[in-house]
Structure 1
Amino acid sequence: MSADRPAPHARPQAQPQTQPPASSPAPVRPPQRPHGPPHMAIGMPTEKSLDFRGSGRRLVATLRPERGAVAGVLALAVASVALVVLGPKVLGTATDIIFEGVIGRQLPAGLTKQQAVDAARAQGQDRFADMLGGMDVVPGVGIDFGHLRAVLLTVLAIYVGSFLFGWLQGRLTTGVVQRTTFRLRADVESKLSRLPLAYFDSQKRGEVLSRVTNDIDNIAQTMQQTLSQLITAVLTVVGVLVMMLWISPLLALVALVTVPASVATTVAIAKRSQPQFVAQWASTGRLNAHVEEMYTGHELVKVFGRQQQAIETFREENEQLYAASFKAQFISGTIQPAMGFLSNLNYVIVAVVGGLRVASGAMTLGDVQAFIQYSRQFTQPLTQIAAMMNLLQSGVASAERVFELLDAEEQRPDPEPAADVPTPVRGRVAFEDVSFRYDPDRPLIEHLSLVAEPGQTVAIVGPTGAGKTTLVNLLMRFYEVDSGRITLDGVDVATTTRDALRSKIGMVLQDTWLFGGTIADNITYGVDDATQDQMAAAAQATHVDRFVRTLPDGYATVLDDEGGNVSAGEKQLLTIARAFLADPAILVLDEATSSVDTRTEVLVQKAMAALRVGRTSFVIAHRLSTIRDADVILVMENGSIVEQGSHESLLEAGGAYAALYASQFARAAAPVD
Structure 2
Amino acid sequence: MSTANTAARVAKKPGSKPQAFRRSALRLLRTMRLDRSLVAFALLAAGASALLAVTIPRLLGHVTDLIVMGVAGRREADFGRIGEVLLVSTVVVLIASLFALARGRLAQRVSQRTAHRLRSECQAKLARLPLSYLDSQPRGEVLSRVTTDVDNIALTLWQILTRLINSLLLAVGALTIMLWMSPLLTLCTLGTIPLAATLTKFFARRARPQAVRQWDATGELNSYVEEMYSGHELVKTYGTAETATEAFSKRNETVYRAGYRAQFLSGIIGPAIDFIGYLSFVLIAVLGGLQVSSGAMTIGVLQAFISYTLQFNNLIGQMASLTNIVQSGVVSAERVFQLLDAKEQHPDPQSPERPHRITGQVEFEKVSFNYEPGKPLIEDLSLTVEPGRTVAIVGPTGAGKTTLVNLLMRFYETTNGRITLDGTDIRLMNREELRSNIGMVLQDTWLFAGTIADNISYGLAGASREEIIAAARATHADRFIRTLPDGYDTVLDEDGSNLSAGERQLVTIARAFLLRPALLILDEATSSVDTRTEMLIQRGMTSLREGRTSFVIAHRLSTIRDADTILVMEAGQIVEQGAHHELIASNGPYAQLFAAQFTREPVAD
Per the normalisation by structure 2, the TM-score is: 0.96
Distance in structure 2 (CA, Å) of the matches to 1:470 and 1:439: 13
CA contact (8 A) 1:427 1:615 kept: yes
Tell me the residue number matched to 2:290.
Answer: 356
Which residue of the other structure, out of 593, 603, 624, is the alignment partner of 2:536?
603
Matched, 1:393 2:390: no
Letter in structure 2 aligned against 1:623: R
Instruction: Specify the SS of the correspondent of 1:334.
Output: helix
Shift of 1:49: 7.0
**1:542 is matched with which residue?**
475
Kept in 1: contact 2:66–2:77 (CA 8 A) = yes
The match for 1:196 is: 130
Q: Name which of 635, 639, 644 aligns with 2:572.
A: 639
**Aligned mates of 2:94, 2:19 — CA distance in 1:** 43
After superposition, residues 273-672 of structure 1 pair within 5 angstroms as 273-419=207-353, 421-422=354-355, 424-666=357-599
Question: Quick check: 2:50–2:173 contact (8 Å CA) kept in 1?
Answer: yes
1:251 and 1:611 mapped to 2: Cα distance? 89
Aligned letter for 2:595? A
Which one-letter code corresponds to 2:477 in the other structure?
A: V
Q: Which residue of 1 aligns with 2:139?
A: 205
SS at match of 2:62: helix
The verdict on how the C-alpha distance between 1:382 and 1:443 changes in structure 2, with shifts beyond 3 A counting, is: same
- More helix by proportion, 1 or 2? 2
AA in 2 matched with 1:407: D
Aligned residue number for residue 66 of structure 1: 35
SS of residue in 2 equivalent to 1:399: helix
Q: Which amino acid aligns with 1:581?
A: L
Task: Verify the 8 A CA contact 2:2 2:397 in the aligned structure 1.
Answer: no
Deviation, structure 1 residue 571:
0.6
**2:104 maps to 1:180:** no
Contact 1:431 1:451 (8 Å CA) reproduced: yes
Post-superposition offset of 1:6: 4.2
1:5 and 1:470 in contact (8 A); partners too:
no
Shift of residue 8, structure 1, vs aligned partner = 4.2
> Could you say what secondary structure the match of 1:416 adopts?
coil
In 2, the alpha carbon distance for the partners of 1:601 and 1:151 equals 89
2:159 maps to 1:225 = yes
- Secondary structure, in 3 states, of the residue corresponding to 1:413? coil
Residues of 1 paired with 2:540 and 2:11: CA distance? 38
Select the residue among 254, 258, 263 that pairs with 2:197. Answer: 263
Other structure's SS at 1:228 match: helix
Tell me the distance in 2 between the aligned counterparts of 1:452 and 1:344: 84
The alpha carbon displacement at 1:5 in A equals: 3.5
Q: For residue 409 of structure 1, give the secondary structure of its aligned residue in structure 2.
A: coil
**Which 4+ runs in 1 deviate beyond 4 A?**
37-43
Give the aligned CA root-mean-square deviation in angstroms.
1.6
Q: Distance in 2 between matches of 1:278 and 1:167?
A: 33
- Further displaced range: 322-331 or 564-573: 322-331
Distance 2:19 2:61 in 1: 47
Contact 2:28-2:333 at 8 Å conserved across structures? yes
Query: Is 1:168 the counterpart of 2:102 in the alignment?
Result: yes
Superposition deviation, residue 546 in structure 1 = 0.6
- Contact 1:426–1:489 (Cα < 8 Å) also in 2: yes
1:85 aligned onto 2:54: yes
Per the alignment, residue 71 of structure 2 pairs with 102
Q: Which amino acid counterpart does residue 387 of structure 1 have in structure 2?
A: S
Structure 2 contact 153–333 (Cα < 8 Å) conserved: yes
How has the CA–CA distance of structure 1 residues 388 and 242 changed in structure 2, closer, same or farther, with 3 Å as cutoff? same
Alignment match, 1:108: none
Aligned counterpart, 1:122: none
Q: For residues 424 and 2 of structure 2, what CA distance do their matches in structure 1 show?
A: 27
Distance 2:91 2:524 in 1: 77
Q: Alignment partner of 2:521: what SS?
A: strand
Correspondence for 2:4: 7
SS across alignment from 1:634: strand
Partner of 1:29: none
Provide the rounded CA distance (Å) in 1 between the counterparts of 2:529 and 2:129. 33
| Aligned residue identity for 1:147 | R
Q: Is 2:210 aligned against 1:241?
A: no
Q: Secondary structure at the match of 1:458?
A: strand
Shift of 1:201: 1.1
Deviation for aligned residue 1:39: 7.0
Offset, 1:518: 1.1
Q: How far apart are the structure 1 equivalents of 2:265 and 2:450? A: 47
By how many angstroms is 1:309 displaced?
A: 2.2
Unaligned runs of 5+ in 2: none
Tell me how far 1:91 sits from its aligned partner: 2.0
- 1:250 counterpart residue number: 184
Q: In the alignment, which of 52, 56, 60 is matched to residue 21 of structure 2? A: 52
Q: Secondary structure at the match of 2:526?
A: coil
Whole-angstrom distance in 1 between the partners of 2:32 and 2:485: 52
Say which SS state the counterpart of residue 171 (structure 1) adopts: helix
Q: Is residue 39–residue 201 contact of structure 1 (8 Å, CA) maintained in 2?
A: no
The answer to whether the 8 A contact 1:428-1:452 is kept is yes
* TM superposition shift of 1:59: 0.9
Shift in Å at residue 385 of structure 1? 0.4
2:394 alignment partner AA: V
* Whole-Å separation in 2 of the counterparts to 1:211 and 1:49: 14
Query: Partner letter of residue 656 of structure 1?
Result: P
Alpha-carbon contact 2:369-2:415 (below 8 Å) kept: yes
Deviation at 1:42, TM superposition (A): 4.5
CA deviation vs aligned residue, 1:636-655 (integer Å, no higher than 9, x gap)? 11111111111122222221
Match of 1:116 in 2: none
Q: Which residue of 2 aligns with 1:109?
A: none
Q: Deviations over 1:549-590 (max 9, x none)?
A: 111111111111121111101111000000011111111111
Secondary structure of 1:430's aligned partner? strand
Letter in 2 for 1:93: H
User: Secondary structure at the residue paired with 1:589?
Assistant: strand
Structure 1 stretch 266-275 or stretch 293-302: which is displaced more? Answer: 293-302
Aligned letter for 1:506?
G
Offset at 1:78? 1.2
CA distance in 2, matches of 1:163, 1:88: 16
Is the Cα contact below 8 Å between 2:42 and 2:161 reproduced in 1? no
Give the unaligned 5+ runs of structure 1: 10-31, 106-138, 669-673
CA contact (8 A) 1:40 1:203 kept: no
Determine the C-alpha separation between the residues in 2 that align with 1:51 and 1:442.
Answer: 34
Q: Is the 8 A contact 2:14 2:338 kept in 1?
A: no
One-letter code of the match for 2:26?
R
Which of 148, 154, 165 is the matching residue for 1:214? 148
Deviations 1:210-258 (A, max 9, x none): 1111111111112222322111111111111111111111111111111
CA distance in 1, matches of 2:126, 2:115: 16
Q: Name 1:112's counterpart in structure 2.
A: none
Q: Separation in 2 of the partners of 1:303 and 1:310?
A: 13
**1 CA distance for matches of 2:96 and 2:276?**
28
Change in 2 beyond 3 A, CA 1:445/1:50: closer
Q: Which structure has the greater CA radius of gyration?
A: 1
User: How far apart are 1:311 and its partner, in Å?
Assistant: 2.1
For residues 49 and 183 of structure 1, do their structure 2 counterparts lie closer, same or farther at Cα, with a shift above 3 Å needed? closer
Question: Across the two proteins, how many residue pairs are aligned to each other?
Answer: 601
User: In the alignment, what sits opposite 1:114?
Assistant: none
